[in-house]
């Protein structure tokens, strides 16, 4: 009995979590709307809606005996009641507290099935006390409630976006699925009838075989009679011939009957196949719809995310959504969740200017970030994420790529605006003046592009100085099936997504030229690098002479500013393919996105075009990279660590020495300047808050010295406010790492990028 009770309680909690998350999301969205609403009537309507959401959540929490959520909702309900009765005003400070309360509710919801920590309990109690104090007329607190009731406010840097383990679908859609499933029963019965008729056909053929066997003695006698000349009476011969003729006549009519029956059966089978195919197609389509979710399911918290991140950076921006009702495969949404977050964060961090700067430019002090979605007829969806900020400086992008060694000076001089802009998708390219926990590492857009390409999509960017930047993403609505081109390379079959193939061309052996150690072909007046697919996949290289072929097909792929041609052995077919993932053990296999089963039963890998293009580009630049790496291995880089705390200084020294760096330490800024005058270092890693000379002043002194002006400086500090980060930028630091989120791999990655 106890086991049954435990199972019921667990099921009840699961239902509560889904319901509670909906109420919390509604409260969060309502607070954002309340900030935007200007009319008193609209504000009253929003407050009433939130009042009801808090009341409903309180009742649900009481039914599953979760006292903390019930108590917090009781206090929240009282605040909304005070707002309704005009005893409180919806000031910015009050809205901040309410947002933080919703945060606390979210945190409590995540912990309902485990023992809460002391800090979690303390934070919940502190939140309730603040709400009660506000109702009693106390001033609005300037700090976020925390375990110590006075810690610094923690900015929201990543929205809590989680797709539920269960998916809710409408009753009408579920009924449609059920009806179509029932229709499959008639198709099943039709298949049974088909089997019975085939068995009858087999029985008829068996009867024919029996009759044929009866004739065997007569045929044998006839043969013997013919061999024994003049010894067999004529009447025996006539009798055997008559029986033979009788069988031939019967056999002819019987075969005609069987043929007609088989033709009729084939016609019935075709009708049944057509009916079954239509039913299955409709069922599959509805089942796919059942696994699709509206974009709004992952965008609900974005307005709040934008608000909090803008607040942390001293900016102001509105998040505008259009087309969020469009439904997309939930697996695609799950994969694109982080890329969407990064692009929106990118709009705030790199695009939107501060209010005073926007006003100086003649813009509205409040920026706008737009997330617009539209569905295309081709079964794809277009997503535009744009801002009306400063735009992207392509000259800076070009210089960063040049400094990072991603392009040569000669290539940099040849880049036009669009090709220079496409460099932002290269790993390591960032125009941020400083590396922080939010941006500056140059990885985000590279990851965005990789995710989009893996899903069979495309991404592009447009920018205009002081007008803004637009990222345009095209994605399939669903991943289950797509059109694929079946190809052969080195006697193996592969599938390429049709949408990734720009065109297929026939390449003659004499048209392949070698330019700068790479094979190329000329196509429409443009010289394209020609890559052999077998080489990228590590397969034995095909030999055209072996099969006597002088002409091979090549698949042309295009992405951003790159176009490449991949040589294959044969293009076999284009068909609808069903993609299956490779399982958890092979969740990420280079060059492969999944597998498909062809009509003949062959299991064939589905190739990842994005990976193939990256592998081809790297293969062309491998010698230069290897040479640089070899040279870097010989020279040991030296780092000056500046830290007044002996514990922190020892920790940093050990971490960096273990990574292979030569380390010297200094106890403050004055000590560091003395070391810099006597020795050469590749980078300085410094604390900020130190006696005699702090890290900011040390960085400023380094930048003022002509000999040291280009020396990279990384500030590692406990000071995490926006003002301190901005101070770091002003004095010329290359990176700003907050100790509260310190990760040694983070530090090592930053150092590797700067030296």
Q: Which fold has domain 293-391+470-476?
A: Heat Shock Protein 90 (3.30.565)
Q: Given the structure tokens 């179509």, which residue do they identify?
A: 180
Q: Among 16-25, 403-412, 468-477, 567-576, whose mean pLDDT is lowest?
A: 403-412
CATH number for the 171-290 domain, one of 1.10.287, 1.10.3210, 3.30.2310, 1.10.3470? Answer: 1.10.287
Q: For the ranges 123-127, 235-239, 719-723, which has the lowest average pLDDT? A: 235-239
Which pLDDT belongs to residue 640?
94
Which of 354-358, 516-520, 727-731 holds the top average pLDDT?
354-358
Query: Which among 157, 191, 378, 375 is positioned nearest to 279, based on CA atoms?
Result: 191
Helix (H) or strand (E) holding 36: helix 2-36
Q: Beta 317-322 vs 367-375: how paired, if at all?
A: parallel
Nearest to 519 by CA among 490, 541, 501: 541
Architecture of the domain delimited by 2-135: Up-down Bundle (1.20)
Question: Please, what's the largest Cα pairwise distance for the chain?
Answer: 137
657-691 residue pLDDT tens? 888 899 999 988 999 999 999 899 999 999 888 88
pLDDT in tens, 580-613: 766 655 656 778 877 887 766 678 888 888 778 8
**Chain segment 296-351, per-residue pLDDT in tens:** 888 888 888 888 888 888 899 999 999 988 888 877 888 888 889 889 988 998 88
H/E stretch holding 6 reads: helix 2-36
- Residues near 547 by Cβ (< 8 Å), separated by ≥ 6? none
Provide the pLDDT confidence category of residue 545 given band limits of 50, 70 and 90: very low
Q: Is the pLDDT of residue 503 over 60?
A: yes
> Which residue, chain included where needed, has tokens 């005070």?
82
pLDDT at position 165 is 53
Structure tokens at 675: 């070391």
Pick 515 or 158 by higher pLDDT: 515
Within 13 Å, how many C-alpha atoms sit on residue 471's CB side?
27
Question: pLDDT grade, residue 151 (50/70/90)?
Answer: very low
Tokens at 642, concatenated: 């500046």
Q: What is the pLDDT of residue 632?
A: 42
- Cα distance between residue 591 and residue 588, in whole Å: 9
**What percent helix, strand, coil does the chain show, rounded to 5?**
55, 20, 25
Q: Are 616 and 505 in contact (CB under 8 A)?
A: no
Which CATH class for the 636-754 domain?
Answer: alpha beta
Please state, in angstroms and rounded to a whole number, the distance separating the CA atoms of residues 135 and 286.
51
Is the CATH code 3.30.420.40 the one for domain 481-622? no
Report the range out of 293-302, 553-562, 624-633 with the highest average pLDDT: 293-302
CA 358 to centroid of chain Cα atoms: 33
Which residues have C-beta within 8 Å of that of residue 117, sequence separation ≥ 6?
Answer: none
* Coil, strand or helix at 684: strand
Phi, psi of 537 (to 5 degrees): -85, 0
Q: pLDDT tens digit string along 338-392? A: 889 889 988 998 889 999 999 999 999 999 999 999 988 767 899 999 999 989 8
CB 221 within 8 A of CB 233: no
For residues 437-457, average pLDDT = 70
User: CB within 8 A of 220, min separation 6: which ones?
Assistant: none
Residue 430: is its pLDDT beyond 70? no
Among candidate residues 311, 210, 194, the one with its CA nearest the CA of residue 264:
194
Confidence of residue 189 (pLDDT cuts 50, 70, 90): low
pLDDT at 144 over 50: no
Domain residue spans in the chain?
A: 2-135, 171-290, 293-391+470-476, 481-622, 636-754
Report the distance separating Cα 572 and Cα 260, nearest Å.
Answer: 37
The share of the chain scoring above pLDDT 90, in percent, equals 12
Helix (H, G, I), strand (E, B), or coil: what is residue 439? coil
């Amino acid at each position: 009995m106890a086991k049954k009770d435990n199972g019921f309680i667990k099921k009840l909690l699961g239902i509560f979590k889904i319901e509670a998350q909906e109420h919390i999301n509604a409260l969060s969205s309502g607070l954002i709307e309340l900030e935007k609403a200007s009319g008193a009537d609209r504000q009253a309507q929003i407050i009433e809606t939130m009042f009801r959401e808090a009341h409903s959540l309180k009742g649900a929490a009481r039914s599953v005996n979760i006292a903390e959520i019930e108590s917090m909702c009781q206090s929240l309900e009282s605040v909304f009641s005070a707002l309704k009765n005009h005893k409180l005003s919806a000031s910015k400070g009050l809205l901040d507290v309410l947002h933080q309360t919703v945060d606390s509710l979210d945190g409590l919801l995540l912990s309902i099935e485990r023992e809460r920590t002391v800090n979690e309990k303390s934070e919940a109690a502190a939140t309730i006390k603040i709400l009660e104090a506000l109702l009693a007329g106390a001033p609005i607190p300037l700090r976020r409630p925390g375990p110590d009731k006075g810690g610094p406010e923690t900015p929201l840097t990543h929205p809590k976006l989680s797709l539920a383990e269960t998916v809710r679908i409408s009753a009408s859609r579920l009924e449609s699925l059920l009806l179509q499933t029932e229709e499959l029963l008639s198709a099943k019965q039709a298949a049974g009838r088909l089997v019975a008729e085939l068995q009858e056909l087999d029985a008829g053929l068996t009867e024919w075989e029996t009759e044929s066997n009866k004739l065997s003695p007569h045929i044998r006698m006839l043969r013997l009679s013919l061999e024994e000349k003049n010894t067999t009476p004529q009447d025996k011969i006539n009798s055997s011939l008559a029986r033979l003729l009788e069988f031939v006549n019967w056999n002819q009519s019987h075969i005609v009957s069987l043929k007609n029956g088989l033709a009729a059966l084939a016609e019935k089978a075709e009708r049944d196949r057509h009916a079954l195919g239509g039913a299955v197609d409709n069922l599959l389509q509805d089942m796919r719809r059942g696994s699709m979710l509206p974009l709004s399911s992952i965008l609900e918290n974005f307005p709040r995310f934008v608000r909090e991140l803008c607040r942390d950076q001293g900016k102001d921006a509105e998040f505008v959504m259009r087309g969020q009702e469009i439904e997309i495969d939930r697996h695609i949404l799950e994969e694109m969740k982080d890329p969407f977050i990064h692009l929106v964060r990118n709009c705030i961090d790199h695009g939107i200017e501060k209010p005073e700067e926007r006003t100086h430019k003649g813009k509205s002090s409040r920026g706008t970030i737009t997330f617009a979605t539209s569905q295309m007829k081709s079964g794809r969806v277009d997503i535009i994420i744009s801002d009306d900020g400063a735009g992207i400086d392509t000259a800076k992008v070009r210089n960063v790529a040049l400094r990072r060694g991603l392009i040569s000076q000669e290539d940099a001089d040849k880049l036009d605006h669009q090709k220079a802009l496409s460099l932002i998708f290269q790993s390591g390219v960032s125009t941020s003046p400083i590396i922080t926990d939010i941006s500056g590492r140059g990885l985000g857009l590279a990851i965005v592009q990789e995710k989009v390409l893996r899903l069979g999509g495309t991404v592009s960017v447009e920018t205009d100085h002081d007008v803004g930047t637009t990222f345009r993403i095209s994605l399939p609505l669903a991943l289950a099936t797509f059109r694929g081109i079946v190809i052969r390379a080195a006697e193996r079959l592969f599938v390429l997504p049709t949408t990734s193939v720009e065109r297929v061309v026939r390449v003659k052996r004499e048209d392949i030229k070698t330019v700068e150690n790479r094979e190329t072909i000329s196509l429409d007046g443009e010289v394209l690098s020609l890559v052999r697919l077998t080489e990228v996949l590590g397969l034995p290289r095909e030999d055209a002479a072996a099969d006597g072929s002088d002409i091979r097909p090549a698949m042309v792929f295009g992405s951003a500013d790159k176009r490449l041609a991949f040589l294959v052995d044969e293009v076999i077919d284009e068909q609808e393919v069903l993609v299956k993932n490779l399982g958890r053990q092979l969740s990420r296999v280079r060059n492969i996105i999944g597998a498909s089963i062809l009509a003949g039963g062959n299991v064939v890998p589905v190739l990842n075009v994005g990976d193939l293009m990256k592998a081809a580009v790297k293969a062309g630049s491998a010698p230069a990279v290897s040479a640089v790496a070899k040279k870097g291995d010989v020279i040991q880089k030296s780092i000056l660590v500046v830290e007044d705390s002996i514990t922190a200084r020892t920790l940093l020294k050990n971490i960096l020495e273990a990574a292979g760096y030569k380390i010297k330490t200094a106890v403050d800024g004055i000590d560091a300047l003395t070391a810099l005058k006597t020795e050469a270092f590749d980078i300085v890693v410094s604390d900020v808050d130190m006696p005699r000379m702090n890290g900011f002043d040390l960085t400023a002194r380094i930048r003022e010295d002509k000999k040291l002006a280009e020396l990279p400086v990384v500030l590692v500090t406990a000071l995490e406010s926006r003002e301190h980060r901005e101070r770091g930028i002003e004095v010329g630091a290359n990176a700003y790492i907050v100790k509260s989120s310190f990760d040694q791999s983070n530090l090592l990655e930053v150092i590797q990028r700067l030296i």
